[in-house]
Structure 1
Amino acid sequence: MNAIYLDNAATTFLDKEVIEVMHQSMIDINGNPSSTHQFGRKAKASIETARKNIAKHFNASAAEIIFTSSGTEADNLILFNAVENLGVKTVITSKVEHHAVLHTLEYLEKQQNINVKYVDVNDKGSINLEHLEQLLKDTAEKTLVSLMLVNNEIGSILPIDKVCKLCDDHNALFHSDTVQAVGQYQIDLQKTPIDFMVASAHKFHGPKGVGFAYFKKGFGIQPMIHGGEQEKGVRSSTENVHSIIGMEKALEISLKNIENNSTKIKALKSYFITELKSNFSNISFNGDSDDLENSSYKILSVRFPVENNMLLFSLDLAGIAVSGGSACQSGSNKGSHVLHAFLNEDDALKTSVRFSFSKQTTKEELDRVVVKLKELL
């Protein structure tokens, strides 16, 4: 029986068209983009074409897109620049952010003596906008707000237009980790004035090891990696040409089919929620992940009313790939920092599983998962 992959928030499988485009680029494009001869110029032109095409999807300019190795590197580049180059003294974030943000801010707090403030989250793990507004009012220093658009563990969606307005009203910069949103939702940077955002290609059926950072025009950028003048001097390192081309194609495919894919996946998520509720008593959903309007259509975080330390392992043995949300499932004795931020101690220790879907997920696969869960629980 075929394996079932329900960990698409961690990574997605490459689209066949992306593989084909990348394969052809490996045949056709062999020069170093920094070389001035025809082979180098061809490689450079392919990168700049990809940059322009990617920027158009967000109603941005090509000069505002910087290619990186990942969303994590993009977050680091933005946060380091905000503090070291743009004079940010206070950063407002939350305890439910990705570690690419939290750990970077912890480092900057120690090394650069910045002030990091944490906005409250409610009992669903969503940002308390009133508290965010109060924190902004109480801060006189230059401030950056860093809040993710779609939470990678529980799928909560940030009311980004409201956050943008609050930041604008209080002259604060706004950075959003949009890794789980790019390719899943349309983002128009003229209508939603985010100052900085990031993407990672492998979250939308593109290759691993490539992403980008968006810096709104007008912000000077200093490199974290030195030794060359690539990416307009912002990021030294020979560009990952074939992966950049693959990312461009993956984004094009995702956004071209976004309506059909979102409708299909949302229907699958709704079906799975119904099946889980009908087959398991006292089941709970972390955050708003069972709310089809206020959470990502591809993420469902489920909390079972039992402790089963071997559940993820047992599912893996049965050919079902998912992620956990507490200590025993994640391989960490600390558990999920996201769940611990808003659940009580007893609930945080219960067995939580993150199921994340894609356009390749089928209803039959979800039925098989329910049957296996009934056997195990």
Structure 2
Amino acid sequence: MDSIYFDHAATTAMSPEVLQAYIEAASFGPGNASSLHSSGRAARERITSARDVFATHLHCEPSELIFTGSGTESDNSALFGAALAQRKRGRNGIVTTAVEHHAVLNACRQLEAQGFSLTVLPVDEFGRVAVADAQAAINDTTAIVSVMAGNNETGTIQPIAEIGEWARKHKAYMHVDAVQAFGYLSFDLKEMPIDFLSLSAHKINGPQGVGLLYVRKGTPFQPLLFGGSQERNRRAGTENIAGIVAFAKAAELAYDQLQTRWNHVESIREAVLQRLTEQLGEDRFIINGHPTERLPHILNLSFTGISSESMLMNLDLAGVSASGGSACNSGSLKPSHVLTAMNISSERVSSAVRFSFGLGNTREEADNLAKITATISARLRNR
């Protein structure tokens, strides 16, 4: 049985070029970038070269970039680092949205437990926050605003530029979780009103266990980890040299092929929708998320009348990898907090399945998915 992997929003496989870069860096020999001998200097040069790659594509200074262990660590570092530093200035307000990744939401709730005032913005039926709601919530006591670029469950793109401009007017700092959007959207950090940006390697065909955090020069920041002086005293711990080198290679490939990547996954998404309409009928599923302001590689569908668990289990048995939402909650039977926040019906929430596409997916797989889904749907409905 041929398998179909339609869960790229959860994680992606390393591309051959990235894997080769990882192997070469890992095979170089022992090297700690904090060591002063030749092996240490060579390791440090590799990190410097990788940082330069990101600085070039993100349009920022290399010194503004911090390598971390994950997107979650980048999110937490930005939120705790900025909030704790801002509290010293008399600011204790945090503003975020109801559809953020739990790496942001749970960090914000932890800060709330430590005495910060938390405002969670609602979203509309498409999962998009209103700029007016953000403007009403952000004031001169706000420490940090955290709004994701593109949602990991629905693909909905948020108006981060407009919200960031308003945050800047009130001297609040703007954090953007771009983990899911990176590789499909470009970010000019010299021009955009963003003070913190979180990225993760394994979403763009890089290795797991490597992240990046952009911190705008001059932004107050308190480290989350304490120990050595790595990353200019902002993130203690020995650097993952091979992972960082591979991450930079993945980012370089992603930016060189930005439009090609977009067009490829968009074509797969459209093919899936077309084939499902032919096989099932357009009244048998509902698209969740914004129709136009969206990432191209995510398709969230509700198969009303069929539970997510039943559909996912049968898809898995048929060799199709998909998801009920965020991979961090894949083992949970709780309804998606993203879909719930959109105030759609409980039937749509409980029957939602996320398909997410990436490099290596084909139109043939789109055809096969539609046939498999139609067969499963008919069998489950007949019960």
TM-score grouping bracket, smaller chain normalisation? over 0.9
1:82 corresponding residue in structure 2: 82
2:69 corresponding residue in structure 1: 69
Q: Does the Cα contact within 8 Å between 2:298 and 2:355 map onto a contact in 1?
A: yes
What is the CA-CA distance between 1:120 and the residue it aligns to?
2.0
The match for 2:125 among 113, 123, 126 is 123
Q: Does the Cα contact within 8 Å between 1:325 and 1:336 map onto a contact in 2?
A: yes
2:338 corresponding residue in structure 1: 338
**Residues 1:159 and 2:169 aligned together:** no
Deviates more, 1:41-50 or 1:221-230: 221-230
1:93-242 counterparts in 2 under 5 A?
A: 93-111=96-114, 113-136=115-138, 139-242=139-242
**Amino acid aligned to 1:77:** S
**Residues 1:303 and 2:302 aligned together:** yes
What is the CA-CA distance between 1:287 and the residue it aligns to?
1.7
- What SS does the aligned partner of 2:44 have? helix
What is the CA-CA distance between 1:229 and the residue it aligns to?
1.2
In 1, distance between residues paired with 2:68 and 2:224?
Answer: 11
Q: TM-score, normalised by structure 2?
A: 0.93
1:260-271 counterparts in 2 under 5 A?
A: 260-271=260-271
In 1, distance between residues paired with 2:22 and 2:143?
Answer: 41
Unaligned segments of structure 1, at least 5 residues: none
With over 3 angstroms needed to count, the CA separation of the structure-2 counterparts of 1:325 and 1:34, relative to structure 1, is: closer
With over 3 angstroms needed to count, the CA separation of the structure-2 counterparts of 1:73 and 1:56, relative to structure 1, is: same
1:285 corresponding residue in structure 2: 287
**Amino acid aligned to 1:356:** S
In 1, distance between residues paired with 2:303 and 2:168?
Answer: 41
In 1, distance between residues paired with 2:344 and 2:253?
Answer: 41
Q: Does the Cα contact within 8 Å between 1:325 and 1:335 map onto a contact in 2?
A: no
Deviates more, 1:235-244 or 1:78-87: 78-87
In 2, distance between residues paired with 1:325 and 1:21?
Answer: 31
**Amino acid aligned to 2:144:** L
What is the CA-CA distance between 1:35 and the residue it aligns to?
0.7
Percent identity reads: 36
What is the CA-CA distance between 1:324 and the residue it aligns to?
0.8
- What SS does the aligned partner of 1:66 have? strand
What is the CA-CA distance between 1:135 and the residue it aligns to?
1.5
What is the CA-CA distance between 1:349 and the residue it aligns to?
4.3
Q: TM-score, normalised by structure 1?
A: 0.94
- What SS does the aligned partner of 1:323 have? coil
Deviates more, 1:7-16 or 1:335-344: 335-344
- What SS does the aligned partner of 1:51 have? helix
**Amino acid aligned to 2:64:** E
Deviates more, 1:31-40 or 1:306-315: 306-315
What is the CA-CA distance between 1:278 and the residue it aligns to?
3.0
Q: Does the Cα contact within 8 Å between 2:279 and 2:371 map onto a contact in 1?
A: no
Q: Does the Cα contact within 8 Å between 2:83 and 2:143 map onto a contact in 1?
A: no
Query: What's the CA shift string for 1:118-169, capped at 9, x where partnerless?
Result: 1121111110111111112xx3313311110000000000122222222223
Q: Does the Cα contact within 8 Å between 1:67 and 1:210 map onto a contact in 2?
A: yes
**Amino acid aligned to 1:151:** N
In 1, distance between residues paired with 2:186 and 2:131?
Answer: 23
**Amino acid aligned to 2:103:** A
Query: What's the CA shift string for 1:18-76, capped at 9, x where partnerless?
Result: 11111111222421111101111110111111111111110000000000000100011
Deviates more, 1:265-274 or 1:149-158: 265-274
Q: Does the Cα contact within 8 Å between 2:82 and 2:220 map onto a contact in 1?
A: no
1:31 corresponding residue in structure 2: 31
In 1, distance between residues paired with 2:374 and 2:142?
Answer: 53
With over 3 angstroms needed to count, the CA separation of the structure-2 counterparts of 1:149 and 1:90, relative to structure 1, is: same
- What SS does the aligned partner of 1:28 have? coil
2:381 corresponding residue in structure 1: none
**Amino acid aligned to 1:166:** W
How many pairs align?
Answer: 369
What is the CA-CA distance between 1:172 and the residue it aligns to?
2.2
With over 3 angstroms needed to count, the CA separation of the structure-2 counterparts of 1:166 and 1:279, relative to structure 1, is: farther
Q: Does the Cα contact within 8 Å between 2:335 and 2:350 map onto a contact in 1?
A: no
What is the CA-CA distance between 1:346 and the residue it aligns to?
2.6
Unaligned segments of structure 2, at least 5 residues: 378-383
In 1, distance between residues paired with 2:213 and 2:74?
Answer: 5
**Amino acid aligned to 1:115:** S
The match for 2:95 among 92, 97, 107 is 92
**Amino acid aligned to 2:3:** A
Deviates more, 1:301-310 or 1:248-257: 301-310
Q: Does the Cα contact within 8 Å between 1:184 and 1:204 map onto a contact in 2?
A: no
In 1, distance between residues paired with 2:261 and 2:330?
Answer: 29
- What SS does the aligned partner of 1:157 have? coil
